[in-house]
């Protein structure tokens, strides 16, 4: 099947690559000449595990092409995916200029029936605006032509996007055009060989589903973060609480980890957009307002712990930061908690030695000019001469380090763990002062670590 994908960002590139992997002939269109040149030269504009190999394999096979030629790209695919950015506007609403510009380009150059698919995360009612835009462009050409507009939101997790795209747990399609529905089923059939994962619904419900899903996940994160703060006050360990409530099948285990707050390109933007939609429709979403406020507070939780330990003036203090990306397996720094942490510690006069396995180039770009911030070549280099280690992102290589080496490198054995990846009892066994999130002083952590500690004392 011939497919065009407008946009070669996170959504567009992953979608185009995975569709080509299933044998489709995909043309990815972008107005950014630098990005298209990079892709045609074999480079990658984003870090996503497994994506580079798929892109290179299918580009070499001729199934995946990258271009800035709008007429050629529009003429190529019967199915036209719109996968461009929808950044937050000043009032929190989604900025639709790129989506509507893509729709206008399709309308200006289409010569036959097209299925125009909104893949970007867009507000309810966007399909109507896309339809109006395409119709307007056709009228300017004095043409009447059949086309369909479909909502097919993406549900890709950064760091696992290829796996999510190749093995989706659900495929949401909002459509009312029978021909478009048939084509969408045919396109996705190879992705659901063992069972039908396609859920057909009306367009507005499909658009709403994406926002609702991200808002629900953000709510779980903020809820657990608020419970973590309370757990510290009452002497409980939020990690044990998480396991206790997560074993209830009505609740489940996902998105129950306390930490430094959510970030990235999706949750902050989509929560804001849904809050704005509620206000615009006379229905204030009070829960989501609290979710957003709790998340902003949580980004400062490590700073609060550091200043409680060292005092508000951090001049002369040096801290090692492990992790800068908003989550592991990505280089995305958008809305990352590390940006708030770095800015506040620097404002208080601290010197920071930061390391991230993947996000260093992007971090150097977005954090350029931050006073006292230095980028280390390794996690060991970041530790040298620091007053404490601050863990911000839970990369796998941070999970089981040499704690004796950490203790030797630091001026004092002290870890602020923003992701609760270490066991408090194990830290005590190593003689390391430990502060997690929602882990009250005296928390015993896992039974294994407690037994190791007891064994070490005998």
DSSP labels, 269-295: HHHHHHHHHHHHTT---HHHHHHHHHH
The answer to whether 18 is a known catalytic residue is no
Burial class (CB in 10 A: 0-12, 13-18, 19+), 52: middle
In Å, how far are 91, 205, 286, 350 from 279, measured between CA atoms? 11, 19, 10, 40
Report d(CA 49, CA 106) in Å as an integer: 32
The C-alpha atoms of residue 68 and residue 35 are separated, in whole angstroms, by: 10
User: Exposed, middle or buried, 231 (CB in 10 Å: 0-12/13-18/19+)?
Assistant: buried
What is the signed CA dihedral for 304, 306, 307, 308, rounded to 10 degrees?
Answer: 80
Name, in order, each residue with C-beta under 8 angstroms of 214's C-beta and a sequence gap of 6 or more: 121, 266, 267, 270, 271
The token pair at 88 is 């937050």
Catalytic residue among 18, 28, 266, 451: 266
Query: Of 372, 260, 272, which is closest to residue 324 (Cα–Cα)?
Result: 260
- Name which of 165, 3, 139 is nearest 76 in CA terms: 3
Whether the CA torsion 184, 190, 196, 198 is positive or negative: it is negative
Residue linked to tokens 């971090």: 363
Query: Rounded to whole angstroms, what are the CA distances from 16 to 101, 153, 184, 358, 457?
Result: 20, 14, 15, 23, 58
306 closest CA partner among 386, 393, 222:
386
User: What secondary structure, in 3-state letters, does 373-432 show?
Assistant: EEECCCHHHHHCCCCEEEECCCCHHHCCCCHHHHHHHCCCCEEEECCCCCCHHHHHHCCC
Give bridge partners of residue 319 from the DSSP assignment. 352, 388
Q: How far apart are the first and last CA of the chain?
A: 69
Cα 174 to Cα 116, 133, 208, 321, 333, distances in angstroms: 12, 19, 10, 44, 31
Query: E strands along 235-378, which residues?
Result: 318-322, 351-355, 373-375
Q: Active-site positions? A: 266
């Amino acid at each position: 099947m011939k497919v065009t994908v407008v946009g070669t960002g996170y959504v567009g590139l992953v979608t185009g690559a995975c569709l080509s992997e299933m044998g489709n002939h995909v043309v990815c269109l972008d107005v950014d000449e630098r990005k298209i040149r990079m892709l045609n030269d074999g480079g990658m504009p984003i870090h996503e595990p497994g994506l580079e190999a798929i892109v290179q394999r299918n580009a070499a096979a001729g199934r995946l092409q990258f271009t800035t030629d709008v007429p050629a790209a529009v003429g190529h695919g019967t199915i036209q995916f719109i996968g461009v950015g929808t950044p937050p506007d000043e009032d929190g609403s989604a900025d639709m200029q790129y989506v509507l510009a893509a729709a206008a380009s399709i309308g200006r150059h289409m010569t036959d029936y097209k299925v125009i698919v909104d893949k970007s995360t867009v507000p309810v009612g966007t399909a109507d605006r896309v339809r109006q835009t395409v119709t307007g462009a056709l009228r300017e050409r004095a043409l009447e032509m059949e086309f369909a507009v479909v909502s097919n939101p993406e549900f890709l997790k950064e760091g696992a996007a290829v796996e999510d795209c190749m093995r989706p747990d659900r495929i949401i399609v909002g459509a009312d055009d029978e021909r478009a529905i048939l084509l969408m089923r045919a396109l996705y059939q190879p992705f659901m060989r063992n069972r039908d994962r396609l859920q057909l619904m009306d367009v507005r419900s499909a658009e709403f589903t994406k926002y609702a899903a991200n808002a629900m996940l953000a709510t779980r994160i903020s809820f657990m973060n608020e419970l973590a703060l309370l757990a510290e006050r009452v002497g409980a360990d939020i990690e044990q609480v998480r396991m206790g409530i997560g074993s209830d099948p009505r609740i489940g285990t996902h998105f129950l980890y306390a930490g430094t707050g959510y970030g990235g390109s999706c949750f902050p933007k989509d929560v804001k957009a849904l809050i704005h939609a509620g206000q615009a429709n006379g229905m204030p979403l009070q829960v989501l307002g609290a979710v957003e406020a709790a998340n902003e507070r949580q980004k400062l939780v490590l700073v609060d712990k550091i200043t409680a330990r060292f005092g508000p003036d951090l001049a002369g203090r040096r801290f090692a930061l492990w992790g800068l990306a908003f989550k592991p397996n990505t280089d995305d720094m958008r809305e990352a908690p590390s940006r708030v942490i770095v800015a506040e510690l620097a404002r208080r006069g601290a010197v920071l030695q930061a390391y991230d396995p993947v996000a260093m180039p992007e971090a150097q770009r977005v954090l350029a000019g931050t006073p006292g911030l230095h980028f280390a070549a390794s996690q060991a280099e970041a530790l040298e001469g620091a007053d404490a280690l601050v863990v911000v992102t839970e990369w796998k290589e941070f999970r089981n380090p040499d704690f004796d080496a950490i203790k030797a490198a630091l001026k004092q054995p002290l870890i602020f763990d923003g992701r609760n990846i270490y066991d408090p009892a194990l830290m005590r066994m190593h003689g390391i002062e430990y502060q997690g999130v929602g882990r009250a002083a005296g928390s015993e952590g896992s039974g294994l670590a407690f037994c190791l500690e007891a064994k070490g004392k005998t």
